Amino acid sequence: MSKQRTFLTQVIIPVLPELFPTEEATQYALTNPHVYNVEHLVELCLAKQGGYRFVDADGYDFTDYSDSKTTTVNDKTLVMTVGSIENKIGSLRISAYNPIRERIDFFYMSHQQLRSAALPCYGKHSYKERLLARYNAARDDYNQFEQYRVADFETLAKKSA
């Protein structure tokens, strides 16, 4: 299963059924998952379920000043990277596609936790910051990042600092 299809089935279609009003529309989405901007649809889902508005401002995505990031665990290195976090001014809501388990894992970090976990990038992007976590498939956890994992998408959407 692909990242897009997994997001559609596990998050987007259940939270935004108005975008898929018929079985035909749902089947079209699942047959053609790459047609959809999954990252933006996840932002809309977070806003709907969390009770805040999507604003897409500099440093935050939502009216509560939090930001959404969508990422993927690398299936070869098992590393999860969340980039471009240097300008974030609030908490971070992370939705990570895990291709090993074919599911989405969710993480919430307060701004203070984000600042203490941020790592510098190197080379020509040395002014940027990122988060790194390594997925341990045998234990089904994210090592030091596990402390930020939340149970499900609804918890991610409704959590506040």
pLDDT mean over 37-53: 97
- Going along the chain from its start, the domains and CATH numbers come out as 3-158 (3.40.1350)
Is residue 116 a contact partner of residue 104, using CB atoms and an 8 Å limit? no
According to the model, what pLDDT value does residue 22 have? 97
Is residue 38 a contact partner of residue 13, using CB atoms and an 8 Å limit? no
pTM, whole model, 2 decimals? Answer: 0.95
Pairing state between β 79-83 and 129-134: antiparallel
Give 125's pLDDT tier (boundaries 50, 70, 90): low
Residues 55 and 152: their CA atoms lie apart, in Å, by 23
Residue closest to 147 by CA, chosen among 116, 103, 102: 116
pLDDT mean over 85-108: 97
Number of CB atoms found within 10 A of residue 35's CB: 9
Q: How would DSSP label each residue in 114-141?
A: HHHH-EE--GGGTT-EEEEEE-BTTTTB
Give 43's pLDDT tier (boundaries 50, 70, 90): very high
Check whether 121 has a pLDDT greater than 90: no
